[in-house]
Amino acid sequence: MEINGIAHIVLTVIRFEICSVFYTKVLSYMGLKEVFRGKDNLYYVGGKTAVAISRCHEPYKNDLFIQNRIGLHHLCFRAKLREDIDNFYSYLKSIDAKIIQPPQDGPWAPGYYSVLFECPDGIRLELNHIPGTGILEKGKEFNPSTDYC
């Protein structure tokens, strides 16, 4: 079997009204299209990817996202062009997004270039570009201890 990507990711947020505005701006800018909007959920689809934003349940409304806790560490989207990263960074600044790391090269794959930012609830997000096939080059074995992406 060979999978065809990730069908969808669901991010649960505390401040749904604030976060839904943020994710609408960010996901739309990335070319994802809104296919559902309800009282407690948003659903966007594009590039063989779907992202849902969901309101957290009442008992968890005072919890905070902690990146190194069990569960999601961060979500990284892949851009087709290196210049998309710089353009997206400018867009993030224009909407006053919290930037964690401005565009820079990374050691995880040849040509790795990314920007790291957070949603209003502190969920860490990244947009990266890796030219060609990145670490999945033909004939090269993937080593999870050194080839993390």
User: What's the average model confidence in pLDDT over 23-30?
Assistant: 98
- Determine the topology of domain 1-58 in CATH: 2,3-Dihydroxybiphenyl 1,2-Dioxygenase; domain 1 (3.10.180)
User: What's the average model confidence in pLDDT over 113-142?
Assistant: 82
Domain range 73-149, its CATH number among 3.40.50.300, 3.10.180.10, 3.30.300.30, 2.30.30.700:
3.10.180.10
Percent of the chain predicted with pLDDT > 90:
70
Instruction: Report how far residue 84's alpha carbon sits from residue 40's, in angstroms, rounded to the nearest whole number.
Output: 31
Contact 7, 49 (CB under 8 A): no
Instruction: Report how far residue 36's alpha carbon sits from residue 55's, in angstroms, rounded to the nearest whole number.
Output: 14
